[in-house]
Structure 1
């Protein structure tokens, strides 16, 4: 439920209860909720996870019989596959705009989010994304919000972690040349150098690559103590397997896009306690709301949540709350209420700064033990 307190409200996993909830009269209005993400291809697992988070929130909200603007309101998910491709993403975004959705969740990929943000903002539709490239929210678009950590937060945290906790002095960096991969790698490099780490090699690949032997052979010659990979789990998995095959037993670090169980499924025992990655938000297992979300998610979808389903679940609830506060489903009317949100969700605290980034996005660093994503203790972070 949502419990109001002075200047803030708390969002729990269960029932949204801002009054009035039940329509007394009038017709039902159907509010279309858009989602764009990689629902097919190498990143399909993460795209479906995002979709599941929004879907679970919508199902719960619809079960409550919300009233917005004096009308009983039912949300309907319109989910489309952008295939992690910017060109496809533009087509999908235009389709969602034409379908008169009242918010667009996603994209997951920064390379899709950057071009479509101009289109979506120009159409006056709120976009709530988990894509992390800093530029997405730095262009002054009032309808564009980020509901997770940015590359600046993620990459810089990993740079400091490498120096202070792993005590490395020589690192190599690979990025996949996507807006996400390059962005998070650049932030890591800046932070690592500031901490005294020498970047001994910077290599480039693509988000479709599967063979890294030539890149790894060059890096091996530099005697780097580890590699930071800016890219997605679908490439990080063969990268780590090939590191092991070449007897490169140093660290593999990455951003949030490698930080999920799919990496361990794809790379097997090559993913071990020398792989580290960050996720925005607290550890779900360490809060009552997080544990309940994991239980409910697995019951509903017969799988464990991955990286951002909890953030998307929270995002849908926060948008619904903003609509109720504004007494309108129209983005032009509820946008200000969303920008002024001060709410605690499953995945963290939602309060936005002037760029509509989260003011306080906690970051948890994980490693892998026995194929499981395992958070480090606060002392280790």
Structure 2
């Protein structure tokens, strides 16, 4: 056993460094500043709630009580910051990472975690590239863009009866990737024409030029690949231009904050979005209980990703308990074959690290409230 020695004026005493063995540090990486800070803080809050529960329950590893610790870092939704944060977490001694939020930060950070042998579970990133790089350390507990794009394209054509569709993306890995997949599936399904493809960026606030071009094409549906921070102002400018097209998007737009960002432009049943996750009826009571606990702990409702960050943290703990070790090299194999019942559903991974039997939830907004339409697990017919 390693000894730590403390010198005093009167003596030199050596004591066992036992506490160094009793701490398990898990990292959380997400934007805690910038336009997506509310979503990033949601991830941190969900992970922290799990850490609190693990400590309150006295969850042990190999029969030994441990102190669970969260190290939360701000990646600013920036790929460069993301890699710097990843290295900081590795250097800080984390044994697992919950994050990141954005696909653009998740992918470059995943290389650093893989090189260090540290497993990563993203509660939000949906780009298929993340889990198709060959890294054994990369996992996610939400559906990827292949399924999201397929569901949204099918819903736009078969349910909204769109004949003309315009597409905008924010040029991020997430936004462009989702828009590309949506485009691919619209073409595959047929029945609707893509009349315009436009681009912006994730920091933009003025969309009048591209919306004016789109308005001239009279689309039934506008698809947006991006986040709520830009979708809100975009909806306001659509309203100012008299545009009545339905607005369809992914989980970056499905948030409790969108009504504040869009104001009266949100309307009822105007926006349809999908969360890359969701619970069926048997799990709704558990999710409602989590929502109540979250609100009591933080004084507000969760945005989107807190339940998935919570489950990611708990899944790590379950893998460590199954392996009898918090050493990543030892619990990583247990994580790859885990079957954990979380509040968001059964968590089990395929060979790539993607969630098996992934669910999606379609939402709209009514009277300023996010309103569930349905949960799907394959495609909308």
Common fold: TM-score over 0.5: yes
1:358 aligns with 2:352: no
* CA deviation profile, 1:203-225 (whole Å, cap 9, x unmatched): 11100000000000000111111
63 and 183 in structure 1: CA distance in 2 versus 1, 3 angstrom threshold:
same
Question: How far apart are residue 343 of structure 1 and its match?
Answer: 2.3
* Residue aligning to 2:183: 189
Cα contact 1:26–1:71 (8 A) shared by 2: no
Q: C-alpha separation between the residues in 1 aligned to 2:188 and 2:302?
A: 35
Question: How far apart are residue 70 of structure 1 and its match?
Answer: 4.2
* Residue aligning to 2:272: 276
* Residue aligning to 1:86: 79
Q: C-alpha separation between the residues in 2 aligned to 1:79 and 1:306?
A: 18
1:209 aligns with 2:204: yes
69 and 304 in structure 1: CA distance in 2 versus 1, 3 angstrom threshold:
same
Q: C-alpha separation between the residues in 1 aligned to 2:307 and 2:315?
A: 12
Q: For structure 2, which runs of at least 5 residues remain unmatched after alignment?
A: 1-17
* CA deviation profile, 1:35-62 (whole Å, cap 9, x unmatched): 1101011111001111110000000100
- 5 Å-filtered alignment, 1:168-183, equals 168-183=162-177
- Superposition RMSD on alpha carbons, in Å? 1.7
Cα contact 1:26–1:72 (8 A) shared by 2: no
Task: Give the greater-gyration-radius structure (CA).
Answer: 2
Cα contact 1:68–1:328 (8 A) shared by 2: yes
Question: How far apart are residue 370 of structure 1 and its match?
Answer: 0.8
* Residue aligning to 2:5: none
Residue 375 of structure 1 is aligned with which of 358, 372, 377? 372
1:328 aligns with 2:313: no
* CA deviation profile, 1:163-203 (whole Å, cap 9, x unmatched): 11001011000001000000111111111112212111111
Q: C-alpha separation between the residues in 2 aligned to 1:262 and 1:69?
A: 42
* Residue aligning to 2:107: 114
Residue 234 of structure 1 is aligned with which of 229, 242, 252? 229
Q: For structure 1, which runs of at least 5 residues remain unmatched after alignment?
A: 1-24
Question: How far apart are residue 107 of structure 1 and its match?
Answer: 0.5
* Residue aligning to 2:69: 76
Q: C-alpha separation between the residues in 2 aligned to 1:209 and 1:52?
A: 27
TM-score by length of 1: 0.91
* CA deviation profile, 1:74-101 (whole Å, cap 9, x unmatched): 1111000000000111111111000110
1:160 aligns with 2:157: no
How many aligned positions are there?
357
Residue 252 of structure 1 is aligned with which of 247, 250, 275? 247
Residue 220 of structure 1 is aligned with which of 215, 218, 235? 215
Q: C-alpha separation between the residues in 2 aligned to 1:148 and 1:27?
A: 34
Question: How far apart are residue 283 of structure 1 and its match?
Answer: 4.6
Q: C-alpha separation between the residues in 2 aligned to 1:191 and 1:343?
A: 32
Question: How far apart are residue 154 of structure 1 and its match?
Answer: 1.1
Q: C-alpha separation between the residues in 1 aligned to 2:75 and 2:107?
A: 13
Q: C-alpha separation between the residues in 2 aligned to 1:351 and 1:48?
A: 26
Question: How far apart are residue 284 of structure 1 and its match?
Answer: 8.2
Cα contact 1:54–1:309 (8 A) shared by 2: yes
